[in-house]
A and B are shown apart, each in its own frame.
Chain A
Amino acid sequence: MEGNTHTQTLTVSDSLRRPEITNGSNDPKMKRYHTILLTAAYILFAACVAVSIAASRFAASSERTRARAEFQQQARGVQNLIQERLQAHVNALLGAQGLFAAGTRIDRPSWASFVRGLTAHGRYPALTSMAYLESITASQRLLFEQIVRADTSLNPGGYPHFAVRPEGTRDRSIVITYLEPETGREDLLGLDLAYSHLTLLDDVRDGGELASLGRLAVSRIGREYLLVLPLYRSGAPQDTVPERRSAFIGYAAETLSPAQLFQDRTNLPLMETQDVFFELKDSQGEVIFQESVLPGLGADASGSNRFAEDLPLHAGGLSWVLTVSVPETFALTPALEKEPLLVLLGGLAFSLLIFTLLYEAANARRRAMILAGKMTGELGKFQLAVKYASNHIIITDPDGKILYINPSTERITGYTRTEIIGQTARLWGGRMPPEYYRRLWRIIKEEKKPFDGELTNRRKDGTEYEAVVHISPILDRGGQLYGFVGIEEDITQQKVLERARSEFVSLTSHQLRTPLTAIRLTLETLRSGIGGSLSEAQQEMIGRAAEYAVRMADTIHTMLTVSRVETGTLSVVRDSVSLASMFEDLRREQEPVFSRKHQQLALECPSGLSVGTDAKLLWEILSNLLSNAIAYTPDGGSIRLRAALADDRVRIDVVDTGYGIPSSEQERIFQKFFRATNATQKKTSGTGLGLYLVRSLTTLLDGEIAFTSIEHQGTTFTLHLPLNPPPHEQEHSDR
């Protein structure tokens, strides 16, 4: 800082042009850098968003693939279990085939026993009944019916109503002859299946394989499915169709409820899935079973958001298709279900973070550059301000050793920069009493507060100058003292002017007062009779002249006091002032005037009430207010002067029953030289300075003055003064 300041001479235009403030926002290089960073931020953001979406989709796809594999595995589990159950039923029929192959003839009790054996342990849950179907010709029919009706081997009453149904003559009939259990299915006995399925049954006979006859068209068991297996005589060859026709006895049939295949769900996979859907179709594509775990949910079994598998079931000659369908979300936990969304949101958040960081980095640098530019500009302005300040400005270390001076310091002190740097201000100071400097150092170094004061210094050429000084400590963030900034203003000329003005006032005062003194003394001497006795008329004239002299003295006094207030040469000397005593003195002073006007002056003051103020100035205030009250109250009126404590202040009222102040003029009453119109009519003399002085002095005493007035009724002036005001810095000073 110092290197820039000591030799340059700048013209005004130079100083206005300098410093060239570099604004970071206008630097092309900076702009390019900023643009590149911002572009990078946008590109990276777009890339991150794209990657996030891809990752989310990949996560969703992975989950779907995994879920599909899981579904397929479980669906195959369903397939295996249902296949196993179906096979069991086929095996039951095969067992019946074996039964006939082993013996010559199977009677009704043997059949019943065989079937009960099968169903006893619940091994065939879907098995509802098994029947033996006998093939008869038309000629055998009558005898056949008679034999059955008379068969009491199982049922003691036989089957008296047994008949081949439906009625009518057919070449061959394939009749349900044995049925176990019979209960509830009695109407099946005698049913001729050749009536409706002859061709199919013949094919079964010829093929020797198990076949399905489809759903039985009997209302009571309408949902049951009929499987049939041909039975052949034991030992007969069955390799060819003629041999099988020759060995053919009848059929073993089983009624099967497809729903029962799914009834036991103990080991059935997918049952934990709420929306699982099963469907069975036979080889003709007819739906023979359909069920969803939750009713109504399986309607859209092959919907776009579902997995579905068509699985073949083969048992004996049966060829069914099992369809299993679940929603794609079947294997997802809530957390897994949200995984793609979470991946997407995480990715977007990360993208935004990266973008924000880059954007901030770009803008932070730009802002920093702009700020730096501004600061450089501000610093430049500050440098110029300090450099060309008319005041002397120095910066010192904590010990007062001078580190920096501005050019005015050299001009004011007369010392050169080289002579000053490294020295202390004692170089031109040290003219004040030691106590002054002790106080200064205590304030700025120990209390770390600014110091303001006036002092006298000495230039290099030995001449003295007066200065007002402001010294501020410089503290770092931790409050540690870094040094001081001192600013001095040379007020020598100002002081000379002040003194000249003061002396002028003093001399004017003196020159006005001296002849007045002579006049007053002369008049007083004449009135005392020293110069010889006077006639009454002479006494009267001299008395009036003396009053005019007093008025002139008062006017001079008022004008000088106003001058002192305005020039700041009036000092306040506070003391404890007894108000009762002052009131009595005021009454004594004013008595000649109010007595002549036959007025009553009442004093009201608590005994012992005193106020910490300047007695002379308070006297000045009250004397003015009281003389106004007397002057502007008609003869015979009354005036009250009263004092009272009001909180931590003293209240003094001057109350009169006088002419009052016109309301339209009340706000101007404290203005300098203003006199109310009714006052000028009653009393032509008067300067208009009295109330102006009252308010000025009240302010000087830290008090307040107010009034209430009603024209033709009277006025009350109220003065509030602090009971014990704190002392002022400038009090007692000569200024």
Chain B
Amino acid sequence: MNKSILIAEDEEFIANLYKLNLERHGVDVDIVADGAAAIDAIDAKQPDILLLDLLMPNKNGYQVLEHIRQKGYAFPVIILTNLSQDIDRRKCEDLGVKDYLVKSDLTVEELWTKLSVLL
């Protein structure tokens, strides 16, 4: 059974490009477009890894992280955002994320390198 990756990303085009590239490595990739949908998806089925954007409609990434902490979910979360302020980075680290990656500075190959370690 393939490992599952959930991508919470409101930019559909970007999300699909990640999905397209990651699925080449033999993982199942699901996409949700906002925070509320991400929470629903997680509650329905916990992924092996969550790639979470921070600025999303409905509920933002922080609220999703808060939910995960409240529920006690143990799957790793990697923040994939274009917010690069230290304050955001530390806030996420305090909420227990595994990594904090800036999308514009990252290639898909670099992303896969990090994911493959966790899967």
Please report A residues at the B interface, Cβ cutoff 8 Å.
502, 505-506, 509-510, 512-514, 516-518, 520-522, 524-525, 528, 530, 553, 556-557, 560, 564, 569-571, 734
> Quick check: A521 and B87 within 8 Å, CB to CB?
no
> Quick check: A571 and B11 within 8 Å, CB to CB?
no
Within residues 73 to 96 of chain B, which ones have a CB less than 8 A from any CB in chain A? Answer: 81-88
From B37-45, B60-68, B97-105, give the one contacting chain A: B97-105
Give bound CA distance, A514 to B88, whole Å.
Answer: 17
Q: Would you call the interface of chain A mostly helix, strand, loop, or mixed?
A: helix
Give bound CA distance, A553 to B102, whole Å.
Answer: 10
Please report B residues at the A interface, Cβ cutoff 8 Å.
11, 13-14, 17-18, 20-21, 24, 55, 81-88, 102-105, 107-109
> Quick check: B21 and A520 within 8 Å, CB to CB?
no
> Quick check: B24 and A513 within 8 Å, CB to CB?
no
Given known A513-B103, A513-B104, A530-B24, contact A521–B18 (CB-CB < 8 A): yes
> Quick check: B82 and A509 within 8 Å, CB to CB?
yes
> Quick check: B108 and A524 within 8 Å, CB to CB?
yes
> Quick check: A557 and B87 within 8 Å, CB to CB?
no
Query: Shortest Cβ distance from A623 into chain B, in angstroms?
Result: 12
> Quick check: A518 and B11 within 8 Å, CB to CB?
yes
Q: In the complex, which of the residues A516, A524, A571 contacts B21, with contact meaning CB atoms closer than 8 Å?
A: A524
Which residues from A are CB-within-8-Å of B87? Answer: 502, 569, 734
> Quick check: A530 and B82 within 8 Å, CB to CB?
no
Which residues from A are CB-within-8-Å of B20? Answer: 525, 530
Which residues from B are CB-within-8-Å of A516? Answer: 104
Given known A524-B108, A530-B24, A734-B87, contact A513–B14 (CB-CB < 8 A): no
Query: Shortest Cβ distance from B25 into chain A, in angstroms?
Result: 11
Task: Among A514, A522, A524, find the residue whose CB has the most chain B CB atoms closer than 10 A.
Answer: A514
Given known A524-B21, A528-B24, A560-B84, contact A518–B14 (CB-CB < 8 A): yes
Given known A521-B21, A524-B21, contact A505–B85 (CB-CB < 8 A): yes
Q: In the complex, which of the residues B17, B24, B83, B107 contacts A506, with contact meaning CB atoms closer than 8 Å?
A: B83
Q: In the complex, which of the residues B17, B84, B107 contacts A509, with contact meaning CB atoms closer than 8 Å?
A: B84
- Chain A residue with the shortest CB-CB distance to B81: A510
Give bound CA distance, A102 to B42, whole Å.
Answer: 178
> Quick check: A517 and B14 within 8 Å, CB to CB?
yes
Which residues from A are CB-within-8-Å of B55? Answer: 510
Q: Would you call the interface of chain B mostly helix, strand, loop, or mixed?
A: helix
Query: Shortest Cβ distance from B32 into chain A, in angstroms?
Result: 18
> Quick check: A557 and B21 within 8 Å, CB to CB?
no
> Quick check: B105 and A514 within 8 Å, CB to CB?
no
Task: Among B17, B55, B82, find the residue whose CB has the most chain A CB atoms closer than 10 A.
Answer: B82
Query: Shortest Cβ distance from A520 into chain B, in angstroms?
Result: 7
> Quick check: A520 and B104 within 8 Å, CB to CB?
yes
Query: Shortest Cβ distance from B18 into chain A, in angstroms?
Result: 7
> Quick check: A510 and B86 within 8 Å, CB to CB?
no
Given known A510-B55, A525-B17, contact A517–B103 (CB-CB < 8 A): yes
> Quick check: B85 and A518 within 8 Å, CB to CB?
no
Given known A514-B11, A520-B104, A530-B24, contact A506–B88 (CB-CB < 8 A): yes
Which residues from B are CB-within-8-Å of A560? Answer: 84
Which residues from B are CB-within-8-Å of A524? Answer: 21, 107-109
Give bound CA distance, A12 to B98, whole Å.
Answer: 61
Kindly list 10 other residue pairs between chains A and B, CB separation below 8 angstroms, not including A506-B84, A520-B104.
Answer: A513-B104, A514-B103, A517-B103, A518-B14, A530-B21, A553-B105, A556-B104, A557-B105, A734-B86, A734-B87
> Quick check: B17 and A518 within 8 Å, CB to CB?
yes
Which residues from B are CB-within-8-Å of A520? Answer: 104, 107
Given known A510-B55, A513-B102, A517-B103, contact A557–B24 (CB-CB < 8 A): no
Query: Shortest Cβ distance from A384 into chain B, in angstroms?
Result: 42
Given known A513-B102, A525-B20, A525-B21, contact A518–B84 (CB-CB < 8 A): no
> Quick check: B11 and A528 within 8 Å, CB to CB?
no
Query: Shortest Cβ distance from A526 into chain B, in angstroms?
Result: 10
- Chain B residue with the shortest CB-CB distance to A572: B86
Which residues from B are CB-within-8-Å of A528? Answer: 21, 24, 108
A-B contact pairs, 26 of them (CB 8 A): A502-B85, A502-B87, A505-B85, A506-B88, A509-B83, A510-B81, A510-B83, A513-B84, A513-B103, A514-B11, A514-B14, A514-B103, A514-B104, A517-B104, A518-B13, A520-B107, A521-B17, A522-B17, A524-B21, A524-B107, A524-B109, A528-B108, A530-B20, A564-B85, A564-B86, A569-B85
Query: Shortest Cβ distance from A562 into chain B, in angstroms?
Result: 13
Which residues from B are CB-within-8-Å of A502? Answer: 85, 87
- Chain B residue with the shortest CB-CB distance to A549: B104
Which residues from A are CB-within-8-Å of B14? Answer: 514, 517-518, 521
- Chain A residue with the shortest CB-CB distance to B105: A553
- Chain B residue with the shortest CB-CB distance to A560: B84
Give bound CA distance, A556 to B103, whole Å.
Answer: 13
Which residues from B are CB-within-8-Å of A553? Answer: 104-105
Which residues from B are CB-within-8-Å of A571? Answer: 86
Query: Shortest Cβ distance from A95 into chain B, in angstroms?
Result: 142
Task: Among B14, B85, B105, B109, find the residue whose CB has the most chain A CB atoms closer than 10 A.
Answer: B85
Give bound CA distance, A524 to B85, whole Å.
Answer: 26
Which residues from A are CB-within-8-Å of B85? Answer: 502, 505-506, 509, 564, 569
Which residues from A are CB-within-8-Å of B81? Answer: 510
Which residues from B are CB-within-8-Å of A530? Answer: 20-21, 24
Give bound CA distance, A522 to B18, whole Å.
Answer: 10
Task: Among B20, B21, B84, find the residue whose CB has the most chain A CB atoms closer than 10 A.
Answer: B84
- Chain A residue with the shortest CB-CB distance to B18: A521
Give bound CA distance, A506 to B82, whole Å.
Answer: 9
Q: In the complex, which of the residues B21, B82, B88 contacts A517, with contact meaning CB atoms closer than 8 Å?
A: B82
> Quick check: B82 and A514 within 8 Å, CB to CB?
yes
Give bound CA distance, A517 to B15, whole Å.
Answer: 11
Give bound CA distance, A505 to B104, whole Å.
Answer: 16
Give bound CA distance, A506 to B21, whole Å.
Answer: 28
- Chain B residue with the shortest CB-CB distance to A522: B17
Closest 7 pairs (CB-CB, A-B): A513-B82, A513-B104, A521-B17, A517-B103, A516-B104, A510-B82, A517-B104
Which residues from A are CB-within-8-Å of B11? Answer: 514, 517-518
Which residues from B are CB-within-8-Å of A509? Answer: 82-85
Give bound CA distance, A570 to B86, whole Å.
Answer: 7
Which residues from A are CB-within-8-Å of B86? Answer: 564, 569-571, 734
Query: Shortest Cβ distance from A588 into chain B, in angstroms?
Result: 11
Give bound CA distance, A518 to B103, whole Å.
Answer: 9
- Chain B residue with the shortest CB-CB distance to A517: B103
- Chain B residue with the shortest CB-CB distance to A734: B87
Give bound CA distance, A171 to B13, whole Å.
Answer: 186
Query: Shortest Cβ distance from B3 into chain A, in angstroms?
Result: 20
Task: Among A505, A509, A517, A571, find the residue whose CB has the most chain B CB atoms closer than 10 A.
Answer: A517
Query: Shortest Cβ distance from B48 into chain A, in angstroms?
Result: 22
- Chain B residue with the shortest CB-CB distance to A552: B104
Give bound CA distance, A509 to B82, whole Å.
Answer: 7
- Chain A residue with the shortest CB-CB distance to B102: A513
Give bound CA distance, A569 to B88, whole Å.
Answer: 12
Query: Shortest Cβ distance from B58 into chain A, in angstroms?
Result: 18
Query: Shortest Cβ distance from A31 into chain B, in angstroms?
Result: 68
